[in-house]
Amino acid sequence: MRTILILTSKTGGGHVSLAEALRDRLTEDANIEILDPQSSFFHWHYRWVSRYALWLWSAEFQLTDAPWRALVAHRIFTPLVAKNLRAAIQRLQPDMIITTYPFLTYEVMQTLAGAKLTTPFVMLFTDPKALHASWLTEKRAAATLAPTRETYALATEAGFAAERLYQVGWPVRTQFITQAQQANATTRAEVLRKFGLDPDYFTVFLQGGGEGAAQFGETVERLLSADARLQIILATGTNRTLQARFQHVKNVYPLPFTKEIAIPMAAADVIMGKAGPNMLFEAVTLGKPFIATTFIPGQEEDNLQFIRQHELGWVTLTLNEQYTLLQKLVQQPAILEQMKQTVATYQHWNTAQTDAIVPILQQLLSDGDGGQQKP
C-alpha cells in the first residue's frame, strides 16, 4: 500500500479535522499518518492568545497577510520545522505529502528541495471565503485543492497554474456523512430521549471555540428563557466546571467530550457556535442551518459573509440577537424550513465536488511524476 503523510497544525481543531477528513477518505487505499511537526511552543501560544488575547492573534494574522510579509514569515518558520519534517520524511518515505496548514507549504517544498526529493505535494486550502497571503506564497505544489468556488477564483487570480489547481468541495469526517445518510425522526428521538430531552422540543446544539474562545454560561441561561419549548445540547468538551454547572438544569444536556460528535449534532434542529469553517461544513453536511455567535477576529470574519451569501444560516453576534432569533425559530417553524432548503442546495453541490478529491489524489499517485496533468 501507498504511504501518505498528512501535515496539519494542532493550533485549533479545524486543521486537524480536515486532516482527519482526508484520512477517512484515503484509508482504504493507503497507510496514513497525520503529523504536526511544530514544537509545543506554538500550541501553547495558540491556547493562550485564543483564551486571553484574541486581539494579539488578530494582529499576528493581519501582520502576515501581505505577500512579502508572508514570504518573510515562511522563511523564518522553515528552519523551525525543517528538522522534524526531514525526520518524518526519512522515517515514512511517503508516496505523497498533503498539508492542511498554510505554514507547512513553502516549508515542505524547501525541505523536499533540500533533500532532492520529488515526492508529490498537495495543498488543501482551509478557508472558505478569503485566502490568507501565507497560502498564496507557494505555487509549486503538484496539486492545490480549493474547497469552495471563492477560493478557486482567488487562487486563479493569484496565478496558480490551472493544470494543478482543482475545484473540489469541503471534506468532512466520515461520521458526518454516515449520520446524514442515516438521519431520520426515529433516530433523532432515540438520541434525545437518551440525553433526557424531549423529541418534540426545538433543539439547539451549542458549541464554542475548542480552545475556550467562547464563554457558554450566561449565554445558555439567557437562551433557555427564549421559549419553554427550547432545549440545548451543550458541548462542554473537557470543561468539567461547565458540565457540573448544567448537569441538572432542565432542558440542557451537557455533552462531555466525544469523538462521535456527529450523532448529537444530527439530533439538533440547528447548530450554533463560533464561525469556524469545519463546524459550518459539518452542519451543512447534516443539512442543519448554522447560527454564528462569535468569530476569531481577522481569521474568521469573512466566514460570516460566506454564511450570509450562501444562506447557510444566520449571523447573531450579540446575546439579544441570538435570543430573538431562537424565539422566532421556535414560534415560526417556516423560517427554519426555508433556511434548510438553501442549506440542502449547498450540501448537494459540496458533496458532489468533494467526491472528486480521492480520484485526483489517486491519479497523482499513479502518475508518479508530480501530477502535472489533470485526470
Does the pLDDT of residue 374 top 50, yes or no?
Answer: no
The percentage of the chain sitting over the pLDDT mark of 90, rounded to a whole number, equals 73
What pLDDT score does 349 carry? 97
Does the pLDDT of residue 67 top 50, yes or no?
Answer: yes
Query: In whole angstroms, what is the distance from residue 133 CA to residue 116 CA?
Result: 27
User: pLDDT (tens digit, 9 = 90+) per residue, 173-220?
Assistant: 999 999 988 877 778 999 999 999 999 999 999 985 443 434 567 778
Cell of 101: 496548514
**Which amino acid makes up residue 143?**
A
Strands 313-315 and 290-294: parallel
CB atoms within 10 A of CB 362: 16
What pLDDT score does 243 carry? 84
User: pLDDT (tens digit, 9 = 90+) per residue, 210-256?
Assistant: 434 345 677 788 899 999 999 999 998 877 888 888 888 999 999 99
Using 50, 70 and 90 to split pLDDT, how confident is the model at 48?
Answer: confident
The answer to whether the CB of 20 falls within 8 A of the CB of 34 is: yes
Domains of the chain and CATH, by start: 2-169+356-367 (3.40.50.2000), 174-349 (3.40.50.2000)
- Edge-to-edge, what's the strand order for the sheet holding 313-315? 252-256, 230-237, 202-207, 270-274, 290-294, 313-315
The answer to whether the CB of 138 falls within 8 A of the CB of 123 is: yes
Cα 210 from chain centre: 12
Does the pLDDT of residue 298 top 70, yes or no?
Answer: yes
CB atoms within 10 A of CB 225: 11
The percentage of the chain sitting over the pLDDT mark of 70, rounded to a whole number, equals 93
